[in-house]
Structure 1
Amino acid sequence: MAEHQFKPDRPAPKSEVGLIGWLRKNFFSTWYNSLFTIVVLYLVIPALYHFAQWAFIDASWIGNDRNACTVGGGACWVFIEDRFPQLIYGFFPESMRWRPDLVYLGAALLIGWLAWPKAPKKIWVGAFTIFIFPIIALILLNGGLFGMEKVETSKWGGVLVTLVLALSGIVISLPFGTVLALGRRSKMPIIRTLSTVYIEFWRAVPLITVLFMASVMLPLFTTSDVGIDKLLRAMIGITMFYSAYMAEVIRGGLQAIPKGQYEAAESLGLSYWKTMIFVILPQALKITIPSIVNTFISLFKDTSLVLIIGIFDLLAIGQAALSDPSWLGFSVEMYVFIAFVFWVFCFGISRYSIYIEKKLHTGHKN
């Protein structure tokens, strides 16, 4: 008797796969979803069309002065092109801009290496990125060594200052916040009290006040012979402020770990620090990735507040450019460009965090 032969599977209907299937599943799954999609498109498409017409179709892209922007009636990107070097480097001397270029290139290569899933030696590259690269970047930017001319931080500005403040705050606030979170959960009363007071104090003070304190009051705690750079003061203020928020985020992750994990570690004879480093913290940090990234994004955007103490970050450089009499009337283009730069960095951080979540997913995510 011949064996029964199964027929091959028929392909899925075209209406259920591909672009059509995706649209049906996400936008036209029911009649009320379809109606809502049509209403939203009716409201959004005209606005997007007018923005595209202003930003791209009728925009001015080539020219040397504002006279090139009086024809189309659209956006004047000539203004951004004219001020682009200042937006990227601030007042860094033009002849020495190869130094921040090397820092940008090195940071991009290291971040790309760490973000590449199949990249080898990630532990060593990560250690180099955290401990060695900041020293190299500081030497390149500040100068004064190896025959390089010293460039005062007052000449730094634009994207350079924004990235310096954001990356230093992110790198330092995470481990410091972790220590504070462990301290707040400590069984030693003095450690727990000091950690709690620190966290509650900094969380109760606005960041603007912290920046003013760092700029005005911090030099009062040093001798007259020791001067603290204004950029360094802002860096210290931002780091101390966001360390308190990071501590609460991580403390939430620590509280989410079941008690059985602690008991299992104790049954194996692990010490407190081995328990935390090898058992508890890896799980807590994985659970709190969305909250940690949200804090990082807030820190990145809040670096724009340093303009109130006279530091020319990206937003401050943009506002200074708007005061130029030869370019009056193009504030929209400048703010759109600044918003786009912030969006690119924050969106990149967000997407990479989603990738990390999926990679480390072991059952906590619903």
Structure 2
Amino acid sequence: MTDFLRADFLPPQPPPPMRAPGWRAKLFGDARATAITLALLVLAALVLPPAIRYLFIDAIWSAPDGAACRAPGAGACWAYIAAKSPFFFYGAYPPALYWRVNLTFALAAALIVWLLHPKIPRKGLALAGFFLGLPVVGFILLHGAPALGLSVVGTNLWGGALVSLIMALAGMAVALPGGVALALGRRSELPALRWLSIATIEFVRGAPLIAVLFMANVLLPLFLPPDWAPDRLLRPMAGIALFASAYMAEVVRGGLAAVPRGQGEAAAALGLSRWQSLKLIVLPQALGAVVPGIVNNFVALFKDTTLVAIVGLFDFLHAIDVARLDPVWAGPTIALTGYVFAALFYLTFCLAMSRYAGGLEKRLAAAKR
């Protein structure tokens, strides 16, 4: 039997080269791939030429009114979008004060870039600015402060993308910390806290967002004194934040369940307290494991802001729906152009969030190697 045993080991060999299959192998590697590729090519040939002709070639780019857009064979009426864009983005906000809206969202964009860019240091200062400073400064700029020389602009004049972005930013800012708090409360060893968290999550998740918005809009003022009744903008904002937090709690709970129990035990063995263990060991791993679910909730939340029109707020989609009733710009292609523009608006923001999440997943995966 020893004649069949190797006495000398073979020298180590280099690993085989990792070559990704070329585009031909991906598109036409087998019969199924070929059939899918050909079907998609046929679909693109049927859809893309009419869409390009409607959106670009036959489009009306400049016109004083909708007469040119109503002509036979006219394509998308981008002149309508240009004429109505202030209404779409600012609603009835006074045109002379647009700079206050622009400055508010410029500050928000700068803080978001600071928070999300991995190479910009001092994230703690950015967090404080986004969660504490921005709401105060943004409210002063948007609503006004006579003591600072800023005239008051009532929320009844706010509309369009201004309302949609405020709702989305407020909901996202509350959803993640609120979801983490509810998820930790659901796993708590204190029965009262655990059952309160469970009841909140299950009740909110069991009701449609429209019902939550109606409850926030109608019932919330009943629990407060008349002088403390929240503004018409704050009530649906609170409903959206609560709704998003409940859904985020289940995503975070899934991430917490994916972290091995030994991680917390090892942290305790090193002398870390329970909160230090959560902050430094458990939560970073849990949140990193559920990045797709978190971003999916953010995308859904951003699109769900269109439902605030049900309770009387003037969001971006509602502004486009109202603008098409203008007789100067009435016409079937004009209304369709407005809805195409709305789709591009929401697609841009949702695609940006998805792309950032994909890059974040790659960085987290590379850090684990």
Q: Give the partner amino acid of 1:346.
A: C
Counterparts of 1:56-71 in structure 2, within 5 Å, are 56-71=56-71
> Aligned equivalents of 1:173 and 1:115: distance in 2?
17
CA-CA distance at 1:273 after TM superposition? 1.2
1:259 corresponds in structure 2 to 261
Q: Give the partner amino acid of 1:361.
A: A
Q: Where do 4+ consecutive residues of structure 1 move more than 6 Å?
A: none
| Helix, strand or coil at the partner of 1:361 | helix
Q: Give the partner amino acid of 1:353.
A: A
| Helix, strand or coil at the partner of 1:265 | helix
> Aligned equivalents of 1:272 and 1:306: distance in 2?
40
Q: Give the partner amino acid of 1:355.
A: G
Deviations for 1:221-246, whole angstroms, at most 9, x for unmatched residues?
Answer: 11222231111001000011111111
Counterparts of 1:91-130 in structure 2, within 5 Å, are 91-130=92-131
> Aligned equivalents of 2:104 and 2:27: distance in 1?
44
Counterparts of 1:326-337 in structure 2, within 5 Å, are 326-329=328-331, 330-337=334-341
| Helix, strand or coil at the partner of 2:29 | coil
CA-CA distance at 1:314 after TM superposition? 0.3
CA-CA distance at 1:43 after TM superposition? 1.8
Q: Give the partner amino acid of 1:38.
A: L
> Aligned equivalents of 1:363 and 1:29: distance in 2?
33
Q: Give the partner amino acid of 1:59.
A: A
2:78 corresponds in structure 1 to 77
The change in CA–CA distance for 1:174 and 1:160 in structure 2 (over 3 A counts) is same
2:342 corresponds in structure 1 to 338
- 1:287·1:364 contact (CA, 8 Å) conserved in 2? no
CA-CA distance at 1:130 after TM superposition? 2.4
> Aligned equivalents of 2:95 and 2:166: distance in 1?
19
Deviations for 1:242-273, whole angstroms, at most 9, x for unmatched residues?
Answer: 11111111011111111111221221222221
> Aligned equivalents of 1:240 and 1:122: distance in 2?
26
> Aligned equivalents of 1:101 and 1:122: distance in 2?
24
TM-score w.r.t. structure 1 length? 0.90
1:3 corresponds in structure 2 to none
- 1:184·1:196 contact (CA, 8 Å) conserved in 2? yes
1:173 corresponds in structure 2 to 175
The change in CA–CA distance for 1:121 and 1:25 in structure 2 (over 3 A counts) is farther
CA-CA distance at 1:362 after TM superposition? 5.5
Please tell me whether residue 39 in structure 1 is matched to residue 35 in structure 2. Answer: no
> Aligned equivalents of 1:195 and 1:70: distance in 2?
56
- Greater RCO (CA < 8 Å, at least 6 residues apart): 2
1:353 corresponds in structure 2 to 357
The change in CA–CA distance for 1:87 and 1:282 in structure 2 (over 3 A counts) is same
CA-CA distance at 1:354 after TM superposition? 1.1
- The structure 2 residue matched to 1:270, chosen from 265, 269, 272, is 272
CA-CA distance at 1:129 after TM superposition? 2.1
Deviations for 1:98-143, whole angstroms, at most 9, x for unmatched residues?
Answer: 1001112222223233344433333322332222122111111010
1:192 corresponds in structure 2 to 194
Q: Give the partner amino acid of 1:135.
A: V
Counterparts of 1:216-255 in structure 2, within 5 Å, are 216-255=218-257
> Aligned equivalents of 2:279 and 2:123: distance in 1?
19
Please tell me whether residue 28 in structure 1 is matched to residue 2 in structure 2. Answer: no
> Aligned equivalents of 2:118 and 2:260: distance in 1?
30
> Aligned equivalents of 2:299 and 2:35: distance in 1?
35
Unaligned runs of 5+ in 2: 1-16
Deviations for 1:340-359, whole angstroms, at most 9, x for unmatched residues?
Answer: 10000000011111111111
The size of the alignment, in residue pairs, is: 348
Q: Give the partner amino acid of 1:170.
A: M
TM-score w.r.t. structure 2 length? 0.90
Counterparts of 1:296-307 in structure 2, within 5 Å, are 296-307=298-309
2:315 corresponds in structure 1 to 313
